[in-house]
Amino acid sequence: MAADDQTTEQVETLFATPDLAGALESEPFRRFLDEVPTAIVVSEMRGRERIVYANPEFEKLSGLSAAEVEGEPWSVLHGLGNGDNAERRLDVAVVESNDCVGTFQIERAGREPALVEAYSNVIEHDDGTPAFRLAALVEVRHGPAQRQELEQRIHEKDALLQEIQHRVKNNLQMITALIRIEARTARGRMDTAPFDRLAGRIESIGLIYKLLSKDGHEDELDLGVYLSDIVSSVMHSYAVEGIRLNLKVDAYPVSVNVAMPTGLVVNELLTNALKHAFVGRDGGTITLHSLAESSGCRVIIADDGVGLPEGVEWPKPGKLGALIVKSLRDNAKADFRLESSPGKGTRVTIRFTRAASAPEVILR
């Protein structure tokens, strides 16, 4: 557990202590608070509310001694909100809010200001009347110097990741080229179709790294751009005369985990169409649409060719195509539908919702 999470849990546990009102009046409990590694301040709410206790951790954090704050109202705490709450005062927030009341910057004599998360809770007697107010201040370790160091480390990590993506892209390009060379060398001696199919699959994955390195993103890409690149690559590799392309793609950001199986499925279907859909015909049309909708995205891969032979299904169980489709369904919760009949072509429709396909948000 991270230190900040552990501290937050300690504060929440303290707030949930049974009969905390009675415990605060106990000298042993106050000695316990003296040892708590979190800044604690307690006020008594009978009559005019005044601070009655501050622990040593508060003294270290704030630069104020317990003697300076005891008997004083909350206005003795000098701090202003951070970020969106820049005009909010710490002393007012502690009184007006409960639980985590926000992030504040507190001034400290002779030292740099401290950035703290403030917590506040009213402790009641058994009859429900307010007895004490307990506030906790947890220092946020990422002050200006630490934040600059963190940003530098993130920048270095991003640069390293881009370098890795660049090397992976280059390696995949080399692997694809070697497979295609081997396939050309083996033609006439063996069936080279598996080589061509493997090269196409690897090239589809390589296109992902190309887009990631170009856009500077590490976890998302534009599905429309990605599928357009795949179409261009497949059409160039097979170069079948008389085949027209009906291409329409919308910009649609998706996570890499969704883009990769989608691209592999599109690569498989386009390759199948170019090799088998127009056998015995002078030409035809292949359609690829990737359409953004209010509920998500719809991808259509279709041809007006001969269709699947009677009794043939795609993907075939146990084959790699079936594994790719399963990955698409698992990663994007995709709905996958195939329609085909002899002489009427083949049409595959993939739908996935916006929530299932959206890139993950990474907080930094």
Residue pLDDT, tens place only, 280-324: 888 899 999 999 998 889 999 999 999 988 888 888 887 777 878
| pTM exceeding 0.75 | no
For residues 13 and 54, membership in a common domain is answered with yes
**Local confidence band at 214 (pLDDT 50, 70, 90 cut-offs):** low
Last-in-domain residue among 155, 186, 218: 218
**Local confidence band at 3 (pLDDT 50, 70, 90 cut-offs):** very low
For residues 297 and 349, membership in a common domain is answered with yes
For residues 11 and 109, membership in a common domain is answered with yes
Q: Are 355 and 295 contacting, i.e. CB atoms less than 8 angstroms apart?
A: no
For residues 150 and 135, membership in a common domain is answered with no
For residues 110 and 163, membership in a common domain is answered with no
**CA quadruple 98, 100, 102, 106: dihedral positive or negative?**
positive
For residues 231 and 351, membership in a common domain is answered with yes
- Tens-digit pLDDT profile for residues 5-60: 554 454 454 444 444 445 556 666 677 778 878 888 888 888 888 998 899 999 99
For residues 302 and 235, membership in a common domain is answered with yes
Most confident of 8-17, 171-180, 321-330, 335-344: 335-344
- What's residue 288's pLDDT? 94
For residues 349 and 285, membership in a common domain is answered with yes
For residues 268 and 338, membership in a common domain is answered with yes
Q: Are 275 and 268 contacting, i.e. CB atoms less than 8 angstroms apart?
A: no
- List CB contacts of 182: < 8 A, sequence separation 6 or more: 195
For residues 229 and 364, membership in a common domain is answered with yes
Beta bridge pairs of residue 288: 247, 301
Number of structural domains in the chain: 3
- What's residue 31's pLDDT? 75
Last-in-domain residue among 125, 141, 157: 141
Task: Using alpha carbons only, give the angle 252, 168, 258 rounded to the nearest 5 degrees.
Answer: 30
For residues 224 and 346, membership in a common domain is answered with yes
Last-in-domain residue among 218, 248, 274: 218
- Domain interval for residue 9: 3-141
For residues 227 and 336, membership in a common domain is answered with yes
> CB-side exposure of 225: number of CA atoms within 13 Å?
15
Q: Give me the CATH number covering residue 120.
A: 3.30.450.20
